[in-house]
Amino acid sequence: MSYSQLSFIRLIIVFCSSLWVASVGAQPFSQSEIARWQQQAKQITITRDTWGVPHIYGKTDADVVFGVLFTQCEDDFARVEENYIDAIGRMAEVEGESALYHDLRARLFLDTTRAVAIYKKSPAWMKKLLDAFADGTNYYLYTHPDVKPKLLKRFQPWMPLLFSEGSIGGNISVVSTERLKAFYEHTKFTSVNDFDKYEREPVGSNGFAIAPAKSATKNAMLLINPHTSFYFRSEVHLVSQTGLNAYGAVTWGQFFIYQGFNEYCGWMHTSSGADSMDEFLEIIEKKDNKLFYRYGNALKPVRTETIRLPYKSGTGIQYKEFTMFWTQHGPVVGEKDGKWMAVSMMNTPLEALEQSYLRTKAKGYASYKDVMRLNGNASNNTVFADRDGNIAYWHGNFMPKRAPKFDWSQPVDGSNPETAWKGLHGVDELVQVHNPASGWIQNCNSTPFTVSGSSSPAKNQYPTYMAPDAENYRGINAVRVLSQKRMFTLDTLIAAANDPHLAGFDDLIPALLTAYQTVMGEGANKSNDLLEAIQVLRDWNRCYGTTSVGTTLGIFWGEKIQRLARSRVPANLQLDFLSFTDFVINKTTPQEKVTALNEVLADLTRDFGTWKTPWGDINRYQRLTGKIQETYDDQKPSIPVGFTPSAWGSLAAYGARTAPNTKKRYGYVGNSFVAVVEFGKRVKARSVVTGGQSSRPGTQHFTDQSPLYCEGKFKDVWFYPEDVQQHVEKTYHPGDK
């Protein structure tokens, strides 16, 4: 290729990149579209109840979508915009060069060109919803000129196709950006165990379903308890005259109820370990300056595409050029042992979006299951209940068929045709349970083979790749709580969701007490503080509580001894929560266990004046700014919280950490939108969210729910029009002054 040809191609790339940026940038709104938005807004009624929850009524589903995007922007435009900057792969234009590989990863799996093409071919009903998404968001920007977007000054109808599941990042978040960076920058990628999972809280959830046989009213019940970063979803009610009547949690910027219920049924999603994606090692050969990969006895061409990604710098927007590669298995995302690594995963955004929306209109078990046949859910399990008395569970949904002789937990040989996917498993082939004899279902991101106690599916009846999930301490606690209770009401279901037992300490604390006896028996110097602390832990019932000193000692000591043990885990050893506890017990000495407790006593005394500090004095809830990156201050008001990180078995999860210049810990992730629902002739429900509906400090609904949230209490849900009308704060049309 000549220099002039190369220069021309680069000029075209620059032009196309600039055109694409402009297409989602600052196009002015035309008078005709403003008039159209104003006309549609008259058909939409928004009623804010006394908690600020928007009940959105429209003639058509598209009207309701317009309205819900408008209200989301009212409540937290920053999060709506951020989610789409993330989803469409433009974070680097806001965050700088460090986010380039985050954006590259997004473009490798689905770019805007393909999203536009899918939008154009979408069925008419979906296209109306996508248009309404863009119209409602843009109308908000038009009517709120004081709002200054960070990047997206106009929203496009194809954008939701790049954000079609309810979790940010979707499936592609499992692809390491560090591996991607190492591949493109020709550096060495060192794979290490992701031990953050032992102390982090960003993923997780609990779902319970209670059958009529264990319900005091003989109605099925559902617990909806997602664990997310705080304020990740908002609470909404969507009602149209064409069959939509759904209530629950919607992720900022999306137009479907992700976890919630309608008058017929309810659905709760928990993050799944079901193996829905695979890594293929490709043998690459170069011939005549072209790249090929081996597949059986054939050589197939590697598909390539060059793009220029924009990023913010100190001198304005700069660009970096990348050549992307694909094989038949998917995009190339790294290299291992001299072979390129391609990833296969669900990449059908229209089906994912259709399923996410249509399930909110399901009328019971059969119709919900029919919607699942779209195979558009790759990252979640489902806990389900309906007013006919059905309860059900499905482990995953999108599930490729594979040859069982391969270890699918590891990368497989992409050149071997036997490793090719063989279609998808049908819904009836998934790990599942329907109306178990036990009368209850639980999933806490744990194995499905304890989902209903003795009525759980049999592990030997399914391929290993379908459910590699391990047990965890929340799952253990959930089984204990649900199996011991003979009958449930909404009140006792809430109590079950808040059960304070921390199963993660059931083996750890006895190991510490034994270690203390061993060390003291060897003539060690006895400290009065140590002796007293040991007695506190001996007397502790291993339940959390705001007044509990045992909780403080247990968690601080558990964290310290785990950090010590973690440094000793071999790089090639994979440990789940339970096996890691065994490792901690067996790979730390009695003296190390006791020393760790002594250090905890010193740390607590230094930071709080006494080691006898109740858990609630340390573990706090605070909301000061409403910004996505919240700030915290020990000198400003906060609320005590009894819940703990879920790693210890706390069903009501609360991940907290210190901030710069704080000694106390402040919650940032865990329980978010939580609801209990009873499906009788009339739906009864209660709910609570973290803080409140609004993101603006000083407004009524900024923290009005925080006292309920911190104490594990719930508010009544107003689902029927006559109930809503008795609790009206404000009724208006989008754009009303």
Q: What is the pLDDT of residues 282-336, one digit of tens each?
A: 999 999 999 999 999 999 999 999 999 999 999 999 999 999 999 999 999 999 9
Go through the chain and tell me how many residues it has. Answer: 737
CA dist., res. 91 & res. 104, Å (int): 10
- List the one residue out of 161, 157, 189 whose CA is nearest residue 175: 189
pLDDT of residue 169: 46
The pair of structure tokens assigned to 180 is 């991607």
Q: How many CB atoms lie within 10 A of CB 631?
A: 14
For the chain, the helix, strand and coil percentages under 3-state DSSP, each to the nearest 5: 40, 25, 40
pTM for the structure as a whole: 0.93
- List the one residue out of 153, 156, 158, 129 whose CA is nearest residue 141: 153
SS3 206: strand
- Confirm if 663 and 570 have CB atoms less than 8 A apart: no
CA dist., res. 201 & res. 650, Å (int): 11
Among all chains, which residue has been given the structure tokens 């600039």?
Answer: 18
CA dist., res. 274 & res. 398, Å (int): 9
DSSP 104: H
DSSP 457: P
Q: How far is CA 201 from the centre of its chain?
A: 10
- Confirm if 621 and 638 have CB atoms less than 8 A apart: yes
- Confirm if 221 and 678 have CB atoms less than 8 A apart: yes
Neighbouring residues of 338: CB distance < 8 A, sequence distance ≥ 6 = none
- List the one residue out of 107, 109, 91 whose CA is nearest residue 99: 91
State residue 50 phi and psi, 5-degree precision: -70, -5
DSSP 699: S
State residue 175 phi and psi, 5-degree precision: -85, 125
Strand pairing category for 54-58 and 233-240: parallel
597-606 long-range contacts (CB < 8 A, ≥24 apart) are 597/512, 597/516, 597/530, 597/533, 597/534, 597/553, 597/557, 598/527, 598/530, 599/560, 600/553, 600/556, 600/557, 600/560, 601/529, 601/530, 601/533, 603/556, 604/552, 604/556
SS3 582: helix
SS3 29: coil
State residue 547 phi and psi, 5-degree precision: -95, 5
- Confirm if 554 and 615 have CB atoms less than 8 A apart: no
DSSP 439: S
CA dist., res. 643 & res. 709, Å (int): 10
- Confirm if 439 and 214 have CB atoms less than 8 A apart: yes
Which helix (H) or strand (E) segment is 83 a member of?
A: helix 61-87
State residue 735 phi and psi, 5-degree precision: 90, -5
Which positions of the chain have pLDDT values less than 50? 1-25, 168-169, 192-202
Q: What is the dihedral of CA 535, 538, 544, 545, to 10 degrees?
A: -40
- Confirm if 393 and 268 have CB atoms less than 8 A apart: no
CA dist., res. 209 & res. 677, Å (int): 10
pLDDT of residue 8: 38
Which helix (H) or strand (E) segment is 618 a member of?
A: helix 615-618
Q: Which residues pair with 267 in a beta bridge?
A: 260, 384
- Confirm if 577 and 195 have CB atoms less than 8 A apart: no
Q: Which whole-number Å values give the CA distances from 479 to 431, 444, 482, 506, 576, in the listed order?
A: 18, 10, 5, 15, 18
The pair of structure tokens assigned to 337 is 């042992």
State residue 220 phi and psi, 5-degree precision: -65, 150
- List the one residue out of 225, 226, 224, 246 whose CA is nearest residue 236: 246
Sheet holding 298-301, edge to edge: 284-287, 290-295, 298-301
Radius of gyration of the chain (CA): 27
CA dist., res. 398 & res. 345, Å (int): 9
